[in-house]
Amino acid sequence: KNQVEQSPQSLIILEGKNCTLQCNYTVSPFSNLRWYKQDTGRGPVSLTIMTFSENTKSNGRYTATLDADTKQSSLHITASQLSDSASYICVVSAAYNQAGTALIFGKGTTLSVSS
Amino acid sequence: NAGVTQTPKFQVLKTGQSMTLQCAQDMNHEYMSWYRQDPGMGLRLIHYSVGAGITDQGEVPNGYNVSRSTTEDFPLRLLSAAPSQTSVYFCASSYSTGRVNYYRYEQFFGPGTRLTVL
């Protein structure tokens, strides 16, 4: 069964600290993996997308890694800011997908950054 | 571009009432989808459309209807609201590029509609 598991479920860190969020998946055939950021009361916004041939992708202070062999991805946030407080969702797309109909969503990690 | 817009932002219904959640996009995307998001669960696909006049069911379609008469609009209808449909509803539009086994899609979400059914 296609699944995406994220850990931890929630995380609290101090402003300025780094953190890493994990995503393990069992989607097959794999096409790409995307990390979304969802602020409270808003729709998800894409941070990064990686295909199986890409093992790292950066977007400012966000760096995503992908190990297609172990089916694991991580999202590293550097020098966290209060505005990073949000839910981070890992989404894996199956290879046959064209219309976004075979996207498998993780339940998300809720990050709280405190001052 | 306004992107993906949804109305209303909040709605309270009584059990058995019907209503339509509106979704519109101005990016000329072929693909549109409706998701619901419940606490402790990932986004779940309700219905989707691959173009005007074409719709199909997602993971949790029961109790919902959709139609796609134009590229821009993709309304979601609740036929007879039930408390189990209390949720946050997101509409998304997307397009894909690439070829078989190498598709790369871009998906854009609306701001959501928070629905409470009493």
Q: How far is B87 from chain A (nearest CA, A)?
A: 12
Residue B90 to residue A44, Cβ atoms within 8 A: yes
* Secondary structure (DSSP) of B74-115: --EEESS--GGG-EEEEEEEEEEES-TT--EEEEEE---EEE
Q: What is the pLDDT at residue B100?
A: 62
- CB-closest option in B41, B45, B105 to A107: B41
Report how far residue A77's alpha carbon sits from residue A93's, in angstroms, rounded to the nearest whole number. 23
Mean pLDDT along residues A54-73: 94
Mean pLDDT along residues A97-104: 67
Cα–Cα–Cα angle for A6, B97, A47, rounded to 5 degrees: 35
Report how far residue B60's alpha carbon sits from residue B46's, in angstroms, rounded to the nearest whole number. 5
Tell me: the pLDDT tens digits for B63-91? 999 999 999 999 999 999 999 999 999 99
B103 — pLDDT class (breaks 50, 70, 90): low
Tell me: the pLDDT tens digits for B8-67? 999 999 999 999 999 999 999 989 999 999 988 889 999 999 889 999 998 899 999 999
**Cα–Cα distances in Å, from A81 out to A46, A59, A113, B20, B35?**
18, 15, 7, 39, 29
Q: What is the pLDDT at residue B62?
A: 95
Tell me: the pLDDT tens digits for A1-32? 789 999 999 999 999 999 999 999 998 888 88
Mean pLDDT along residues A27-54: 90
Q: What is the pLDDT at residue B102?
A: 61
| Position with higher pLDDT, A99 vs B33 | B33
**Cα–Cα distances in Å, from A104 out to A4, A112, B41?**
7, 24, 12
A100 — pLDDT class (breaks 50, 70, 90): low
Q: How far is A109 from chain B (nearest CA, A)?
A: 10
Q: What is the pLDDT at residue B101?
A: 58
Q: How far is A98 from chain B (nearest CA, A)?
A: 6
Question: Residues of A with CB below 8 A from B41's CB?
Answer: 107
Mean pLDDT along residues A47-72: 92
By CB atoms closer than 10 A (0-12, 13-18, 19+), residue B53 is exposed
- CB-closest option in A4, A96, A99 to B31: A99
CA atoms within 13 A on the CB side of A93: 25
Compute the count of residue pairs across chains A and B with CB atoms less than 8 Å apart: 77
Report how far residue A28's alpha carbon sits from residue A2's, in angstroms, rounded to the nearest whole number. 7
List the one residue out of B92, B102, B101, B105 whose CA is nearest residue B6.
B92
Give yes or no for a contact between A84 and A60, defined as CB atoms under 8 angstroms apart. no
* Sheet hosting strand B19-25, strand order edge to edge: B4-7, B19-25, B76-78, B64-66
